[in-house]
Amino acid sequence: MLLFSCQTSADDIELSGEASVGYDTNPAQSHASEDLAFAHIALGAVKTLNLEQSDLRFALDGWYHDYEADNDSYRLSLSSAWSRPIARDRGLLTFSVSGAIYRDALVPADARNEGALTLRYDHILNARDTVGLSAEVRRLDYRNPSLPWSGRPGSGSGRQNSGGRCKPSGRQGPRRRSAALEQRRNDQRSTIALDATHAWSPTLSTRITLAHARNASTVALESYDRNGIGLLAQFMLNNAWRLESGLGWSRSDYSHTQRRLERRDEELNAALVIRHRRGARELFCSLDWIDSDSTIDVHSFRQQVAQCGMAWSF
């Protein structure tokens, strides 16, 4: 696989980059999958101001996902985080504000603008254990109105072309009546998460996370409560090689459904990442697997993603 990366430093602004290529069996996360190869590039710039008893960090990040054909997506985000150590540095309180734009040619219904407020507290319990508590409120304003019952592309909506791409919502011809029924979607997602990390040895640490999210949407069918648990294990094979393995499970209970059918989605995901550090550069390869089962079949999907890339960081 083709690898490329660059990162430089200009004064006290850190510039970083990473690039990778890979293969995604179901990039739209739809019931009828369409696999696509992709190239991914990400760039970031960070400026940290060291204040008297706290730090202020500004970050500009962006990535571009270049799928086969005209199915690209990209995301730009700007964030500011204020963090302050407390309890003789054992605790770290972080408050951040962020905004992002996301555009998606593969699934235009997912294109959106986001704004988020996040509060996080990390605490070092002892030399082996740390805990963290996060709370976030995120507003998602979707740009393109869509039919609330149409499902994802490929799930039977009939809005997908041969390349797996969802066509933009037109307002001409036979679709005129559907277009009149399309709804604008604005979500407010509140999330709280608790995580605990334990270092078992110099080479092995694990992190377990419990999370709850509530999504309130102007499209009633998109409102849900989600509970999840995740486990991440990190193995430091030696100074150069690192292996990360993760397993997660979540259940989403939707508040409203069509024809009074209950909708409950259960998602299981697993990930394996191997990294090799060579000086300031890092090579990485990852495998991801997602199996999402829904009580409403058209919302079930499977996805596997394999990618390899390179990054350069200080």
Partner 1 sequence: MAWLGLSNRQSKRLAALALCCVSSVWADEPWLARVQSVEPNRVTLAIENAAESGPHSAVVAVDPQSGPSGIAPGQLIQVWPGQPPGPDGIWNQARLVPFERGPGVTDRTGVRARIMFGAQRGFGGGRGGR
Told to check if 230 binds partner 1 by CB under 8 A, we report: yes
Told to check if 26 binds partner 1 by CB under 8 A, we report: no
Region 247-266 residues binding partner 1, contact defined as CB under 8 A: 247-248, 250
Joined tokens for residue 136: 């976030």
Told to check if 9 binds partner 1 by CB under 8 A, we report: no
Cα(240)–Cα(277) distance, integer angstroms:
5
Nearer to partner 1, 147 or 308 (CB): 308
Region 104-133 residues binding partner 1, contact defined as CB under 8 A: 104, 107, 110, 112, 116, 118, 120, 122, 124, 126-128, 130, 132
CA 50, 51, 55, 57 torsion: positive or negative? negative
Nearer to partner 1, 127 or 261 (CB): 127
- Of positions 10, 11, 52, 89, contacts partner 1 by CB under 8 A: 89
Which of the ranges 164-172, 178-186, 190-198, 294-302 carries the binding residues for partner 1, by CB under 8 A? 190-198
Which of the ranges 168-176, 206-214, 253-261, 293-301 carries the binding residues for partner 1, by CB under 8 A? 206-214
Told to check if 24 binds partner 1 by CB under 8 A, we report: no
Cα(114)–Cα(104) distance, integer angstroms:
14
Main-chain phi, psi angles of 178, to 5 degrees: -65, -40
Nearer to partner 1, 46 or 179 (CB): 46
- Interface with partner 1 (CB under 8 A), residue total 81
- Of positions 17, 154, 164, 228, contacts partner 1 by CB under 8 A: 228
Cα(191)–Cα(295) distance, integer angstroms:
24
Is the separation of the CB atoms in 24 and 36 below 8 Å? yes
Cα(283)–Cα(234) distance, integer angstroms:
16
Q: Which residues pair with 241 in a beta bridge?
A: 276
Joined tokens for residue 119: 């509060």
- Of positions 68, 72, 136, 291, contacts partner 1 by CB under 8 A: 136
CA 148, 176, 29, 74 torsion: positive or negative? negative
Residue 180 CB, shortest distance to partner 1, in Å, is 27
Nearer to partner 1, 49 or 181 (CB): 49
Told to check if 6 binds partner 1 by CB under 8 A, we report: no
- CA-nearest of 308, 248, 246 to 283 is 308
Told to check if 216 binds partner 1 by CB under 8 A, we report: no
Told to check if 226 binds partner 1 by CB under 8 A, we report: yes
Is the separation of the CB atoms in 85 and 51 below 8 Å? no
Q: For the stretch 68-101, what's the b/e string if a residue is b when 16 or more beta carbons lie within 10 angstroms of its beta carbon?
A: beebbbbbebebebebeeeeeeeebbbebebebb
Residue 314 CB, shortest distance to partner 1, in Å, is 9
